[in-house]
Structure 1
Amino acid sequence: MVTTEGNAASKTDAGNFFEDFTLGQVIEHATPRTITEGDRALYGAIYPSRFAIASSAEFAAACGLAPAPVEELIAFHVAFGKTVPDISLNAVANLGYAECRFHRPVVPGDTLRTSSEVIGLKQNSNGRTGVVHVRSTATNQRGETVLDWCRWVMVHKRDADAPAPETVVPDLAAVVDPADLVVPAGLDFTAYDVVAAGEPHRLGDYVVGEKIDHVDGVTLTDPEHMMATRLWQNTAKVHFNTDARPDGRRLVYGGHVISMARALSFNGLANAQLIAAINAGSHVAPAFAGDTVHAWSEVLDTAETPAPGVGALRLRLVATRGRDASMTLRGEDPSTGSGQAAYAEGVLLDLDYWALVPV
């Protein structure tokens, strides 16, 4: 008599724990995903995004992009979602991003697949978790790189007594050099329609150090963030399963907060049409249903590009729980009563990125 007890469990996948990762390990992630116009429509239903290139095929074509690309963050979320079952299914939290570049626009009909290389490992002092650094690359159906990025994530250990690996923390660039930004082929802003775009502000209208309060806010709900996260096929337990966290709350996927803040930034940055790179990003604090997300931006730098009429604007996008009219990123270090080491109360996201804008 053949028994299936024990065999069934071996056919399922509990995901990787910290001790399952090895330096240099390459993981080919499952389930290629084809982007459709439905993704564009659902994205617009979930986030209040109004950027003209992703919204209007006519506007995109006038800027040299036909067919009209979807929002860059759709590609990011889909590519990121592919990595979750192998990298962060057993995560405590996704901690940050660096060296993310968008190499080419994604249009409906493109099929994305993702692979990741483990580039760093560090066990935490508690011995129960560790931080895994990976470099992930998403390609389309022609094998062309669509985007690549680094991220680091805190992952549970399966066995607290498992030996710690040698600590390797990768040296990542603080910012993507403007010379390394990839401008989409054919992009031309010389005949840019500021009326259709929604605001007149061009590259020269922004000053380094300037802060922009995006004013509007959106209250997060469980149905919306869970639907969005499922849309990207992100299977991380903490977003869906109330048993996955001691507090019994569903953690909002950090990418949901990124997209919400990016959409809110339209008010004041309507001409920041395309994200070219994400220099750095930190999910400063967890977000949950019931939190109202507001956003503000700081201009960090400007740069020229070789494309006609196209400049680059480096921005810090900050999402907050509730509106912070003072637009304060950091407060006093609570350990000393001075300095600016700690993030200010209510900060959810600190994202540093390059956007392409008309000159």
Structure 2
Amino acid sequence: MKEILIDGPYFEDFTIGEFLEEPPSITITDGHATLHQMLFGDRLRLPLDRHLTHEITGSDRPLANAIMAMGFAIGQTTYATQNVMGNLFYRGLVLKKPVYIGDTLSTTTKIVALRQNKVKGGRPSTGMVGLEITTTNQRGEEILHFWRCPMVPCRDPKVQTTHADDLDIMPSDISTQSLVEAVPTDWDLATYKKRFAGIHFDQVETDVLFKIKARDTVTSAPELTRTTLNLAMTHTDAGASVYGKRLVYGGHTISMAAAQLIRALPNTLLILAWRHCNHLAPVFEDDILRSEISILKKTPLASGGGLVDLQINVWADRGENAPKECKNDHVLDWGLVIFMA
């Protein structure tokens, strides 16, 4: 009988300009929203309240949590990263249109940069793969456009390729105009502000640091991996991980940080953009995550409300049995922009 090994691509298998295998499209359902809520307890108001969504946005469909939608888009890119050792960063992500329950997301992934890492200490060869990602909805409207950069092993552990691209071709800068164009201009911000007391855009103060006391434990990491169609084997198979145990999908850490953000700014309407998102250290099942949130900048909008630039840093407590040097690791450096009324 003929045997065929189904395996993901290695660093040498990629070509600049190549579009990767097209993943299945995903229709966002109430079931997805329920699972997201079970895993993260996100208190963002609009995705939780169908009637409020209709009152504020005019849509008869519930608003999908933007972080959930972004997680599906990332999962759709993982044909390239089935053998991934870790995802180093995301850059330049903008949610160009809100996503509602019932929308169908389709994603294309293009190879834009290849850079082999220097071999150190006799370790097998690895390389960085720059991915440019575009996600559209069922009407062909662009929902997301961003870059990410995973580290992938070489098929030949001793190979020396000539790939040495500058990873800075994947920009982290997002113009103010791009952000303004992404803001929904037909939402009823006056009604939202009237309905909910507390901090809205006008009351936000810059140069403030929120330390979130409530920490959260990472659970059900493989379940989220499978739900988002993430093919990276390191997230579901400890034997495929360079750490000897399952590596938690980066979107899991991001989603927990997003939920902790809402404890500080409960009147956030929408997470609109990621200027950068760097994974600084691995996260594992049962790690306990805590967040600190800095208010960096405010940008008022002519249409009402405004944009708030934030910096979120996340640390992982590994528990009593963890080595001292990684007991409280800084795992996430995330610069994002939110929309407030």
Please, what TM-score do these two structures have when normalized by structure 2?
Answer: 0.90
> Is it true that 1:73 corresponds to 2:56 in the alignment?
no
Deviations 1:58-102 (A, max 9, x none): 2222222412211011111111111112x1111110000111010
1:273 counterpart letter in structure 2: L
Counterpart amino acid of 1:109? G
Counterpart check, 1:346 vs 2:329? yes
Partners of 2:52 and 2:71 lie apart in 1 by 24
Q: Report how many residues are paired.
A: 327
After TM superposition, the score normalised by the length of structure 1 is: 0.86
Classify the secondary structure of the residue corresponding to 2:237.
coil
Q: Does 1:109 align with 2:102?
A: yes
Contact 1:217–1:292 under 8 Å retained in 2? yes
- Residue from 204, 211, 216 that aligns with 1:213: 211
Identical aligned residues as a percent? 28
CA distance in 2, matches of 1:205, 1:176: 25
Verify the 8 A CA contact 1:284 1:350 in the aligned structure 2.
yes
Distance (Å, rounded) in 1 between the aligned partners of 2:192 and 2:340? 10
Equivalent runs, 1:53-72 vs 2, <5 Å = 53-66=46-59, 67-72=61-66
State how far apart, in whole Å, the 2-side matches of 1:263 and 1:101 are: 19
**1:64–1:186 contact (8 Å) kept in structure 2:** yes
How far apart, in 2, do the equivalents of 1:82 and 1:259 lie? 17
Match of 2:11 among 3, 14, 18: 18
Give 3-state SS (helix, strand or coil) of 2:70's partner.
helix
* 1:289 equivalent in structure 2: 285
* AA partner of residue 191 (structure 2): A
Q: What is the letter of the counterpart of residue 84 of structure 1?
A: T
Name the amino acid aligned to 1:89: Q
> How has the CA–CA distance of structure 1 residues 250 and 194 changed in structure 2, closer, same or farther, with 3 Å as cutoff?
farther
1:35 corresponds to: 28
Checking the alignment, whether the CA contact within 8 Å between 1:48 and 1:264 is kept in structure 2 is no
Q: For each residue in 1:318-338, what CA deviation from the matched residue of structure 2 results, as whole angstroms up to 9, or x when unmatched?
A: 111249xxxxxxxxxxxxxxx
Q: Which amino acid aligns with 1:349?
A: L
Paired position in structure 2 for 1:148: 145
Structure 2 gap ranges (5+): 319-325
Cα separation, 2, equivalents of 1:35 and 1:246: 33
What is the SS of the residue equivalent to 1:106?
coil
Residue number in structure 2 paired with 1:334: none
Partner Cα distance (2:172, 2:225) in 1: 28
Look up the SS of the partner of 1:77 in the other structure: helix
Of 85, 91, 94, which aligns to 2:87? 94
1:107-153: CA deviation from partner (whole Å, max 9, x where unpaired): 12211111111111100001610001111011111111111110111
Alpha carbons of structure 1 residues 69 and 28: separation in structure 2 relative to 1, 3 Å: farther
The residue that corresponds to 1:191 in the other structure is: 191
Q: Structure 1 residue aligned with 2:133, among 131, 136, 140?
A: 136
Determine the structure 2 residue equivalent to 1:332: none
Matched to 1:356, the amino acid is F
Moved more, 177-186 or 277-286: 177-186
Report SS of the residue matched to 2:112.
Answer: strand
Cα separation, 2, equivalents of 1:160 and 1:316 = 38
Counterpart code for 2:305: V
The aligned residue for residue 314 of structure 2 is 319
- Please list every run of 5 or more consecutive structure 1 residues that lacks an aligned counterpart in the other structure: 324-342
Q: Which residue does 1:240 correspond to in 2?
A: 236
The Cα of 1:26 is off from its aligned counterpart by 1.7
C-alpha distance in structure 2 between counterparts of 1:246 and 1:171, whole Å: 28
> Which deviations, in whole Å up to 9, do the C-alpha atoms of 1:142-172 show, x marking residues without a partner?
1111111101110011013444133112434
Distance of 1:267 and 1:195 partners within structure 2: 18
Task: Give the match for residue 339 of structure 1.
Answer: none
CA contact (8 A) 1:280 1:352 kept: yes
Amino acid at match of 2:70: F
Corresponding residue number in structure 1 for 2:77: 83
| SS of residue paired to 1:313 | strand
Q: Which amino acid letter does the alignment assign opposite residue 272 of structure 2? A: A
CA distance in 1, matches of 2:230, 2:296: 32
Alignment of 1:246-265 (within 5 A): 246-265=242-261
